[in-house]
Each structure stands twice: as C-alpha cells, then as structure tokens.
Amino acid sequence: MQLEIWQGKKIRLEQEVLAVIRQNRSLTVREVAEEVGICKSLCHLILTDKLNMHRVAAKFVPHLLTDV
C-alpha cells in the first residue's frame, strides 16, 4: 500500500516538474525546486534521470536533442 502511494507521488512530482519546465525553460534547478516544493537534489534527479533532460545553452531540453 505505501509503495503504491510513493509511486503515485513520484509520478505527480515528475509531472509537476515537467509542467514548470515547459512554462519556462530558462529556470534554474533551484527555481524549479522552489516552485514544485521539493529539494534541489530531487529536482535535479527528476530532470536528468527520469525526464532525461540536460541543460544546454541555459535551457532544459530533452536529451535526444543534444549532441553528447
């Protein structure tokens, strides 16, 4: 039961972070974290590992668009 609650919360946080980034791609990780109400490290983890986004030219873009 608790695992299901945590999974639902993780999905909700990922969706919130993505919505904030879509509104303004020039925000810093700190600003996104403050907007969503989570710590910077969790925000960075969501952006890089879960949403596969990386900062390029001061904007977050999907990793598929970057040359790495």
Total domain count, the chain: 1
User: Would you tell me how many other CB atoms lie within 10 Å of the CB of residue 5?
Assistant: 9
Tell me what pLDDT residue 51 has.
Answer: 86
Task: Look at residue 67 and tell me whether its pLDDT is greater than 60.
Answer: no
On whether the pTM is more than 0.85, the answer is no
Could you tell me which residues are beta bridge partners of residue 54? 61
Across the range 36-51, mean pLDDT stands at 92
* Containing structural domain, residue 33: 2-65
What does the pLDDT average to over 1-11? Answer: 73
Judge whether residue 66 has pLDDT over 90: no
CATH number at residue 24: 1.10.10
Residues 6+ apart with CB under 8 A from 22: none
